[in-house]
Amino acid sequence: MSEPLNLASVNVSVTPEEKFQEFLGTKGMRLTHERSLIVEEVFADHSHFDAEELVDRLKKRNVSRATVYRTLNCLEEAGLLRKVARTNDRDVYEHDYGYPQHDHLICGKCGSLTEFHSEGLAELLSSVSSKHGFLMEGHRLEVYGTCSSCAKPPKRQFRKLDMI
């Protein structure tokens, strides 16, 4: 989907698997081997993915498509994962736990996602919140447009007759 922004990870006292197990316990559910494999795969690196990509990555480990979809919903409900965008009629996810605040530029043509971090933006939002007596806990910004690759004019193929 895209290359992740090279931000340092945030120190967390509880691993994603432990946090998910705690969440599942509040729902009367348990952390099965398959769910554990899904958490391991999702948190192996910080990349954007859709459910079908995750299904493909977990096929060799005998994790069913249904289990992947159900577990993604639980991970999102637990606050460990979030939907970033919808491209090509698929939800795109990234893990949110243990990764610093950042925002996204989303290309409407090719679906590419570019992560960015801006202290100036954070300061502006803090200032606006303060002026309105609003206690800001965080923010999420998704900028939609066209990436530089898609914005380039198409290369024209010249026919031999055009060159005379």
Structure tokens at 142: 């998704």
Residues 6+ apart with CB under 8 A from 91: 50, 51, 83, 85
Do the annotations mark residue 103 as ligand-binding? yes
CB atoms within 10 A of CB 102: 16
Structure tokens at 61: 């480990």
- What distances in angstroms separate CA 114 from CA 47, 109, 158, 160, one per listed residue? 11, 14, 34, 40
User: Do residues 46 and 102 lie in contact, with contact meaning Cβ atoms separated by under 8 Å?
Assistant: no
Do the annotations mark residue 110 as ligand-binding? yes
Do the annotations mark residue 147 as ligand-binding? yes
Numbered residues of the known binding site: 103, 107, 110, 139, 147, 150
Q: What residue numbers does the annotated binding site for Fe cation cover?
A: 103, 139
Residues making up the annotated binding site for Zn(2+) are: 107, 110, 147, 150
